[in-house]
Amino acid sequence: MVVLVGCSAQPMTPTIDVPAIQTAVMLTAIAQVTLQAAASTPTSPATETATPEPPTPTFTPTVQVTLQPVPGIANANLNVRSSPGRGGQNLGGVFFNQKINVVARNPQANWYYILWQDSPTGYGWILASAIQVEETDLYRLPIAWYDAANNLILRPPVLWEIPGTPLPIPPVPEGDKIRPATVIAPANIRVCPSVGCLVLAILQPGQKLNLTGRYGDNEWAQFDYPSGPDGKAWISRAAIEPGPDGFSGLPRFDALGLELTPEPPTSTPDPNITPTITNTPKPTPAGPLARMEADAIIYSEPNSLSAQVGSLKKGDEIYITGISIIGEWYQIQYPAFTEGRAYIIRKNVRVLGDMRHLPYFDEKGNLLPTP
């Protein structure tokens, strides 16, 4: 029996920011977008004054996204939550091999928004790694999240089709404002910064890129790609080695690849003051690179009964920092390029680097002395 817990939250009306419809990639059969223009009420002409008035804010239309269910199958027993996270209220559970109707995903594509009749809103959230969805269907799912007022925001997926043969990546130009990077591992490039976004191509190690933007805490980098939307594409930070200036000065983008409000410019330095030069060490991988060949759950300890701290999708790349004595578990750098550590089951992990110098760890994850 699955015990269902009621949720006191009121139904939330899906809304979306209008910039999402400003690109050609928003028109899909899955996400049908309609604009509702506001009719202005006629008013008497305003009396002219000497002091100019600030411009009247323009009306923001509401964009309605039609949620079309995509079939999925549960590959594990898992709870359904009221929000995309383990802190969400428990709305019940699904069982192994149970069919689920998925209607959207969160920006990181690690949680699915599903039809759930036992929820007060008729919807719920479930960990994406526990649901098997066709890859092509995943790319066409609308993107959902909550704003500061706990309103559900829905935006259409980002789709793109390259006509004919993709154009070559141009050489990296020179200049103080150029942010170069080198691909250090085979990597998918996508139309937006998420593993849930459509794959455009695969880049090989050694490819030089000109970075033009970043997402989140620099987990994803935008670069010049002539065959992508607006001549751009996205690549995972774990697959590149940026130049000496890193991501400094690059604009920030949202989960759909739309530019956010520019950051305020830095103040002009005083020419009479000699700046202090500091050398900030660049983050480096902690161990050999590996790629996931299937979805996997990330655990806080090397056992499946420990807390689940995240998930990996097929194609994700990680750095391995240790291996269990019996070889069933890997310790990984999580999040990437930090001191954080977590654990995944060794199955379906393809190692791309040298494993010979990795330390071993015990059943609690404590590293053992290296001979």
pLDDT of 96 above 70? yes
Q: Please say whether the beta carbons of 112 and 105 come within 8 A.
A: yes
> Which of 171, 143, 95, 116 has its CA nearest to residue 257?
143
pLDDT of 6 above 50? no
> Largest alpha-carbon pair distance within the chain?
87
Neighbouring C-beta atoms of residue 12, cutoff 10 Å: 15
Burial 312-324 (b: 16+ CB within 10 A, else e): bbebbbbbbbbbb
At 39, the pLDDT band (50, 70, 90 cuts) reads: very low
> Average model confidence (pLDDT) for the chain?
78
Upstream peptide bond of 335 is cis (omega within 30 degrees of 0): yes
Of all residues in the chain, the percent with pLDDT exceeding 70 is: 74
* Residue whose entry in the numeric block shows the structure tokens 């027993």: 77
The dihedrals phi and psi of 21, each to the nearest 5 degrees, come to -90, 5
pTM summary value: 0.54
For residue 261, give the 3-state DSSP assignment: coil
* Cα–Cα dist 138/153, whole Å: 18
* Cα–Cα dist 195/241, whole Å: 19
Neighbouring C-beta atoms of residue 259, cutoff 10 Å: 13
At 44, the pLDDT band (50, 70, 90 cuts) reads: very low
* Residue bearing the bigger pLDDT, 21 or 45: 45
DSSP string for 272-327: TSPPPP--PPPP--SS-EEEESS-EEEESSSSTTSPEEEEE-TT-EEEEEEEETTS
* Residue whose entry in the numeric block shows the structure tokens 């209607």: 103
C-alpha distances out from residue 33 to 18, 22, 85, 112, 115, Å: 10, 11, 28, 20, 20
What tokens appear for 301 in the block? Answer: 């300890």
The pLDDT score that the predictor gives to residue 145 is 85
The pLDDT score that the predictor gives to residue 284 is 53
* Cα–Cα dist 344/72, whole Å: 24
Q: Across residues 38-65, what is the average pLDDT?
A: 42
Q: Across residues 169-198, what is the average pLDDT?
A: 91
Instruction: List the single range of 113-117, 228-232, 313-317, 363-367 with lowest mean pLDDT.
Output: 363-367
Q: Please say whether the beta carbons of 224 and 169 come within 8 A.
A: yes
* Cα–Cα dist 289/145, whole Å: 31
* Cα–Cα dist 156/19, whole Å: 11
What tokens appear for 65 in the block? Answer: 């996204």
Q: For the chain, how many helices (H) and strands (E)?
A: 1, 27
> Which of 192, 213, 256 has its CA nearest to residue 17?
256
CA geometry: angle 76, 82, 84, nearest 5 deg: 70
The pLDDT score that the predictor gives to residue 370 is 56
Q: Across residues 2-22, what is the average pLDDT?
A: 43
Q: Across residues 40-61, what is the average pLDDT?
A: 40
Neighbouring C-beta atoms of residue 347, cutoff 10 Å: 10
Q: Which domains does the chain have, with CATH numbers?
A: 18-36+62-155 (2.30.30.40), 179-253 (2.30.30.40), 289-361 (2.30.30.40)
* Residue bearing the bigger pLDDT, 355 or 253: 253
Q: Please say whether the beta carbons of 63 and 18 come within 8 A.
A: yes
For residue 99, give the 3-state DSSP assignment: strand
* Cα–Cα dist 162/143, whole Å: 22
Q: Is 165 exposed, middle or buried (0-12, 13-18, 19+ CB in 10 A)?
A: exposed
* Cα–Cα dist 237/217, whole Å: 10
The pLDDT score that the predictor gives to residue 104 is 93
